[in-house]
């Protein structure tokens, strides 16, 4: 029996145009009405997650920044896994060639919203960054000095983004660092758009490890968890869940891992999976990939 539903946002809950399909909303709301807890598990920061969460008129658990933060819709924090500021400084120093593609994310109290994300040289006019900037510019500030000097507290994460090839090279370089055991790395790839995000989080932090911790706190078991995702940063979450589903629009590398397959995010795939596997509706076509 499914008692907690963990749902990725981009490429899963939202369609390819970044909208919430009615079928997905209705399925999630019905699942909640049937007593199933709903968690949005995302690489997004809290402030970028909140507008989507507010489209769902139900209580939600928000697992943000690839597992670094667990919050409610009203901002109460249930769990934090922050990156050591020393590890963050070393990452910035060793990956200096990517300084035009990096920002630091913080979890700061109300009243400091403009400093939740700090950057030094990020080019926000880039086509894949411009929309994000326009939606979140109230939370973004330019560092008045070097970015490393902004690390007066432990950050949520160090975030890189750019084209696929350089981000893959960055991923390899990060994993080869002498202090690689002091942080974890998650990559999210959109090959069709030639855009990737690489997030450096606390050691051992991922969507999967945080979901496992949260499930234990809720006194549930992994067999009572269903997770749905579409990208590489969802692997640990999907591996943890007793019922793991990937979207038909998922990356090929994810689909190759043999998880259960549902339809695309433009064809109501999330609603299909919830209906068949959590609500036990008849006539849904989820199947193994």
Question: What pLDDT is stored for residue 132 in this prediction?
Answer: 80
Predicted local distance difference test score (pLDDT) of residue 288:
34
Mean pLDDT confidence for 202-220: 97
Cα gap 102→122, rounded to integer Å: 6
Buried b / exposed e across 199-210, counting CB within 10 Å, b at 16+? bbbbeebbbbbb
- The stretch 116-138 carries a mean pLDDT of 84
**4-80+206-288 and 85-202: identical CATH topology:** no
Average pLDDT over residues 81-96: 97
Q: What angle do CA 65, 224, 205 make, to 5 degrees?
A: 25
Q: Tokens in use for 61?
A: 């658990």
Say what the pLDDT of residue 135 is: 80
Identify the pLDDT of residue 126: 81
Does position 282 have pLDDT exceeding 70, yes or no? no
Q: In whole angstroms, what is the distance from residue 220 CA to residue 225 CA? A: 8
pLDDT for position 289:
37
Q: Which among 99-113, 121-135, 140-154, 204-218 has the top mean pLDDT?
A: 204-218
pLDDT of 44 > 90? The answer is yes
pLDDT above 90 as % of the chain? 82
pLDDT at 287 over 60: no
- Please check the confidence at residue 88 and state whether its pLDDT lies above 50: yes
In what order do the strands lie in the sheet containing 287-288? 77-80, 69-71, 61-64, 37-41, 4-7, 225-229, 243-246, 260-261, 287-288
For the segment 146-167, the average pLDDT, to the nearest whole number, is: 94
Q: Is the confidence at residue 112, as pLDDT, over 90?
A: no
pLDDT above 70: residue 134: yes
Structure tokens at 221: 């078991």
Structural domain 85-202, CATH architecture = 2-Layer Sandwich (3.30)
Q: What is the pLDDT of residues 224-259, one digit of tens each?
A: 999 999 999 999 999 999 999 999 999 999 999 999
Separation between Cα atoms, residue 224 and residue 260, nearest integer Å: 16
Q: What is the pLDDT of residue 281?
A: 77
Residue 124: predicted pLDDT? 84
Per-residue pLDDT, 113: 56
- Architecture of 4-80+206-288 per CATH? 3-Layer(aba) Sandwich (3.40)
> Percent of the chain scored above 70 by pLDDT?
96
Interval 210-219 mean pLDDT = 97
Distance of alpha carbon 5 from alpha carbon 22, whole angstroms: 18
pLDDT digits (tens, 9 = 90+) for 51-77: 999 999 999 999 999 999 999 999 999
pLDDT above 60 (res 1): yes
Q: What is the pTM of this model?
A: 0.92
> What ranges do the domains of the chain cover?
4-80+206-288, 85-202
Asked whether residue 4 carries a pLDDT value surpassing 90, the answer given is yes
């Amino acid at each position: 029996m499914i008692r907690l539903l963990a749902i990725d946002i981009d490429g899963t809950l939202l369609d390819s145009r970044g909208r919430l399909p009615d079928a997905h909303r209705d399925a999630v709301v019905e699942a909640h009405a049937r007593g199933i807890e709903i968690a949005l598990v995302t690489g997004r920061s809290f402030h970028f997650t909140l507008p989507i969460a507010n489209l769902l008129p139900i209580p939600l658990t928000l697992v943000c920044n690839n597992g670094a933060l667990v919050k409610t819709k009203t901002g109460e924090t249930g769990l934090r896994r922050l990156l050591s500021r020393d590890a963050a400084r070393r990452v910035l120093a060793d990956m200096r060639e990517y300084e035009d593609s990096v920002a630091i994310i913080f979890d700061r109290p109300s009243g400091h919203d403009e400093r939740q994300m700090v950057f030094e040289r990020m080019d926000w006019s880039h086509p894949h960054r411009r929309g994000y900037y326009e939606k979140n510019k109230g939370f973004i500030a330019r560092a008045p000095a070097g970015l490393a000097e902004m690390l007066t507290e432990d950050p949520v994460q160090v975030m890189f983004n750019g084209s696929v090839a350089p981000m893959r090279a960055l991923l390899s370089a990060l994993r080869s660092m002498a202090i690689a055991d002091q942080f974890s790395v998650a990559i999210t790839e959109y090959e069709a758009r030639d855009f990737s995000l690489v997030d450096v989080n606390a050691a051992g932090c991922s969507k999967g490890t945080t979901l496992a911790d949260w499930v234990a706190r809720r006194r549930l078991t992994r067999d009572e968890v269903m997770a749905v995702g579409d990208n590489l940063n969802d692997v640990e979450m999907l591996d943890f869940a007793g019922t793991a589903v990937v979207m038909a629009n998922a990356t090929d590398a994810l689909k190759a891992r043999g998880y259960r397959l549902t339809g695309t995010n433009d064809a109501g795939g999330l609603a299909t999976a919830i209906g068949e596997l959590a609500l036990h509706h008849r006539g849904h076509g989820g199947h193994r990939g």
